[in-house]
Amino acid sequence: MNITVFGTGYVGLVQGAILADVGHHVVCVDLDADKIERLKQGIIPIYEPGLEPLVKENHAAGRLDFTTDAAAGVQHGQVQFIAVGTPPDENGSADLQYVLSVAATIAEHMERDQVIVDKSTVPVGTADTVRAKVAEVLERRGRRELGFDVVSNPEFLKEGSAVADCQKPDRIIIGTESEETEEVMRELYAPFNRNHEKIIVMDVRSAELTKYAANCMLATKISFMNEMANLAERLGADIEAVRQGIGSDPRIGYHFIYPGVGYGGSCFPKDVQALIRTASDIDFDAKMLKAVEARNAEQKTTLFQKIHTHYQGDLAGKTFAVWGLAFKPNTDDMREAPSRVLMEALWEAGAKVQAYDPEAMEEAQRLYGNRDELSLCGTKEAALKGATALVIVTEWQSFRAPDFDLINERLSEPTIFDGRNLYEPKRMAHKGFTYYSIGRNSST
């Protein structure tokens, strides 16, 4: 099939590449000319395992192309994907300006019937808004005879494993009330639906809500565990034991119940916020979601609070080694990352930071390159040099078994603030560290 994808971010680029890889002919359209030029040269703007070879191979094979020419893009596809950003606007709602602008562009250039697929995460009712926008432009062009349908097909990929998630999706949600459109979508996704049925067809509004419900459920699990961790810490219990104790119940399960420093990234914070806003627009008080959000905001400050308490507020002039800047491992994404809340609080208190992240250094440079209080270091060991203490924010694999003797030697005080519970408190005490973690007693 000929497919057009608007937006070459995490979602559009990965989706475009995996659709091309199974044999579809895909054209990706983006407004960002520099990005498109680099993609044509095989330079991938984001870090996602497996993405680079996939893009290069399919581009070379002539199945995946990139353009800024929206008219040519629309001409190419019989299915048009909208995969542009939906950031929060000033009151927390999803900002639909990019989605609606793509809808208008499609309507402006379409010359045959089209299936328009909304892959961006959008509030319930957006398909109706997109439909109205397309109809309005067609009307203005005097092309009312052109038929189109708007499908909700939310994306569930996880940054860091986006390619694998799209190649082997747990489920494919298709929100449409039209049998004809359903058939087009089934054909498009047939290569991903071979071993067992993964396609779940439902009405458009339910599909739109499914995406928010999924992200809000996951955010709820995280905030719940962080609440338990706070209780455990104050009650003299060990949250890691509690985690294993509850995870063994299959009704609860082990996934997504790790205590930490709060969720970040481009999705959970904005989607929880947007659903709270959707609820308030219809005079419904989303009490649980508000609590999830409040717990998360507080949890992001927990490392700073521990550091502040340990040094009795005397942070001015101290230097902290920070391991991990990305909001989670295997990505370079620092949007809403807990590391940002921590570093900004440390700077505010007069401290300096020496930071290392395996993938997010460029992004950190882009965000904070002008700050003298930040040194970006080439290795995790270099970040330790002359630092007072080590703070671990992201649970990268390479942080799990470091050289503790070297850490001990390089820090001026052997103190670790671990936001991800990577180490055993007893073992750390044995090695001579003062060790703070989440939801467990600190050890010295």
Instruction: Enumerate the active-site residues.
Output: 267
| Only segment of 26-34, 51-59, 355-363, 410-418 that touches ligand NAD (CB under 6 A) | 26-34
What b/e string do you get for 83-94 counting C-beta neighbours within 10 Å, with b at 16 or more? bbbbeeeeebbb
# residues contacting ligand NAD (CB under 6 A): 26
Binding residue (CB under 6 A) for ligand NAD from 3, 4, 5, 11: 11
Write the secondary structure of 198-227 as one string of H (helix), E (strand) and C (coil).
CEEEECHHHHHHHHHHHHHHHHHHHHHHHH
Indicate whether 212 belongs to the interface with ligand NAD (CB under 6 A).
no
Close Cβ partners of 307 (under 8 Å, ≥ 6 residues apart): 315, 320, 346, 389, 391, 417
Per-residue binding string, ligand NAD, 58-97, x by CB under 6 A, is -------------------------xxxx-----------
Least separation in angstroms between CB 225 and ligand NAD? 21
| Interface residue with ligand NAD, options 21, 65, 149, 155 (CB under 6 A) | 155
Kindly tell me which of 27 and 374 has the beta carbon lying closer to ligand NAD: 27
Distance separating alpha carbons of residues 323 and 383, to the nearest angstrom: 8
- Quick one: which of 27, 99, 39 has its CA closest to 70? 27
Judged by CB under 6 A, the chain residues 255 through 284 that form the site for ligand NAD are 266-267
| CA angle at 358 for the pair 328 and 361, rounded to the nearest 5° | 95
Report, in Å, the least distance between residue 156 CB and ligand NAD: 6
CB 160 within 8 A of CB 329: yes
The amino acid occupying position 143 is R
Rule CB under 6 A: say whether 157 interacts with ligand NAD.
yes
Q: Is 192 buried (19+), middle (13-18) or exposed (0-12) by CB count in 10 A?
A: middle
48 part of the interface to ligand NAD, by CB under 6 A? no
Q: Is 36 in the site for ligand NAD (CB under 6 A)?
A: no
Contact stretch for ligand NAD (CB under 6 A) within 5-13, 178-186, 254-262, 308-316? 5-13
What track of x and - describes contact with ligand NAD for positions 290 through 329 (by CB under 6 A)? ----------------------------------------
CB atoms within 10 A of CB 405: 10
Tell me the window of 10-18, 196-204, 235-243, 366-374 that interacts with ligand NAD (CB under 6 A): 10-18
Task: Give yes or no for residue 159 binding ligand NAD (CB under 6 A).
Answer: yes
Nearest one of 313, 337, 307, 315 to 325, comparing CA atoms: 337
Whether residue 305 contacts residue 230, with contact meaning beta carbons closer than 8 Å, is answered with: no
Binding residues for NAD(+): 30, 35, 86, 121, 159, 270, 335
Residues that bind ligand NAD (CB under 6 A): 6-12, 29-32, 35, 83-86, 98, 101-102, 120-121, 155, 157, 159, 266-267
Binding residues for substrate: 156-159, 211, 256-260, 264, 328
